């Protein structure tokens, strides 16, 4: 067998070997035939004829994309730095290759602009307290816009909202003022409820005179257990008159004539 024949056979063998490619379970091959889209091939051993066919491999696994920190001006004119993380995957390999040049870079740029746009419509308090709602809004917008690329945005999570020192101190003062306000409201509500209970107790005692006497006895019992040297308590005037003490309401005669006698 001559050398040229060996060279041709070796080239054919190399072409045949190169024509077989193995794709993993999470990979798909977008195959082009003479520059035109032909089909999407699944995992396993696949035949891709060199020169005539070209195959672009696409990973279908979930991709974690870190969105760089963005300068955001909130609706109440507060400048903050916000970064996030994005989870997406390819659901249509054909559109992901044909409709966009680099779907990873395109998704990253779209996530950055959407993050600034959505957060700029909210106040700082909403950024700090309503992250779940903001995450859902950003995810919905990204998912609707990347659908044409064959991309499914699974989730968006805002990681950090960075503030300057002056804004942190202002938020701390605001939180302290809010705590003081709540404490005063609770104290006022307690005073109001106590006054209502005292009013009810006064009505009950006014309707039952015996209750007043029992209250006197209870007060004496409470005072007796304390270390008090002097006890002063009110006594009804009718009770003293009944005991023969005399008319305590009468005023003494202090005229000059009475003094001379």
pLDDT tens for 35-69 read 898 889 888 888 888 888 888 999 999 999 998 88
Three-state DSSP class for residue 162:
strand
CA gap 241, 193 in Å, rounded: 40
- Answer yes or no: do 134 and 93 share one domain: yes
Range of the domain at 89: 63-163
Higher pLDDT among residues 216 and 17, named by residue: 17
Residues 40 and 69 in one domain: no
Residue 210 lies in a domain: no
Q: State whether 48 and 68 are in the same domain.
A: no
Domain termination residue (choose one: 134, 163, 192): 163
Last residue within a domain, chosen from 116, 142, 163: 163
Residue-level pLDDT at 153: 93
55 shares its domain with 67 = no
Q: Going by DSSP bridges, is the β-strand pair 53-59/20-23 parallel, antiparallel, or unpaired?
A: unpaired
Q: Is 142 within the bounds of a domain?
A: yes
Q: Is 105 within the bounds of a domain?
A: yes
* Long-range pairs of 191-198 with CB within 8 A, sequence gap ≥ 24: none
Are residues 120 and 93 part of one domain?
yes
Q: What is the pLDDT of residues 166-182, one digit of tens each?
A: 666 766 677 778 788 88
| Residue 194 buriedness (CB in 10 A; 0-12 / 13-18 / 19+) | exposed
pLDDT of residue 255: 46
Residue 19 maps to a domain: yes
- Let me know whether 148 and 94 are in one domain: yes
Angle between the N-to-C axes of helices 103-119 and 131-146, in degrees from 0 to 180, rounded to the nearest 10: 140
pLDDT of residue 114: 92
pLDDT number for residue 122: 87
Q: Are strands 27-33 and 53-59 parallel, antiparallel or unpaired?
A: antiparallel
Please check whether residue 155 lies inside any domain of the structure: yes
Q: What is the pLDDT of residue 106?
A: 92
Judge if 45 and 96 occupy the same domain: no
pLDDT digits (tens, 9 = 90+) for 98-147: 998 889 999 999 999 999 999 888 888 888 888 889 999 999 999 999 99
Across all residues in the chain, what is the average pLDDT?
79
Considering the domain architecture, whether residues 93 and 126 belong to the same structural domain is answered as yes
Q: Please give the tally of structural domains in the chain.
A: 2
Note whether 119 and 45 are same-domain residues: no
One domain, residues 157 and 106: yes
For 101, the token pair is 């040049």
* pLDDT tens string 191-245: 888 888 878 877 776 777 666 666 666 666 666 666 655 666 565 555 556 555 5
Q: Quick one: which H or E segment has residue 54?
A: strand 53-59
Examine residue 221 and state whether it is found in any structural domain, yes or no.
Answer: no
Among residues 59, 81, 97, which one ends one of the domains? 59
The enclosing domain of 90 has a CATH number of: 3.30.479.30
Query: 52 with 134, same domain?
Result: no
Domain annotation covers residue 31: yes
Contact, 63 vs 48, CB < 8 A? no
For tokens 């041709």, name the residue: 8
Residue 82 inside a domain? The answer is yes
Do 72 and 153 share a structural domain?
yes
């Amino acid at each position: 067998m001559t050398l040229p024949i060996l060279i041709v056979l070796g080239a054919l063998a190399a072409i045949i070997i190169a024509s077989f490619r193995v794709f993993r379970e999470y990979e798909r091959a977008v195959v082009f035939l003479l520059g035109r889209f032909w089909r999407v091939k699944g995992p396993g051993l696949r035949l891709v004829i060199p020169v005539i066919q070209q195959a672009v491999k696409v990973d279908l696994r979930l991709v974690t994309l870190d969105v760089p920190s963005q300068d955001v001006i909130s609706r109440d004119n507060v400048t903050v730095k916000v970064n996030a993380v994005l989870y997406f995957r390819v659901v249509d390999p054909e559109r992901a290759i044909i409709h966009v040049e680099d779907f990873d870079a395109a998704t990253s740029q779209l996530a950055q602009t959407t993050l600034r746009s959505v957060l700029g419509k909210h106040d700082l308090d909403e950024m700090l307290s309503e992250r779940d709602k903001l995450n859902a809004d950003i995810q919905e917008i990204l998912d609707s816009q990347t659908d044409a690329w064959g991309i499914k945005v699974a989730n968006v999570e805002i990681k950090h909202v960075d503030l300057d020192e002056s804004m942190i101190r202002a938020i701390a003062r605001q939180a302290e003022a809010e705590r003081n306000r709540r404490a005063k409201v609770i104290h006022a509500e307690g005073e109001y409820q106590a006054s209502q209970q005292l009013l009810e107790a006064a009505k009950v005692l006014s309707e039952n005179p015996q209750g007043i006497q029992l209250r006197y006895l209870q007060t004496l019992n409470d005072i007796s257990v304390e270390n008090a040297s002097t006890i002063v308590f009110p006594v009804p005037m009718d009770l003293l008159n009944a005991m023969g003490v005399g008319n305590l309401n009468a005023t003494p005669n202090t005229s000059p004539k009475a003094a001379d006698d």
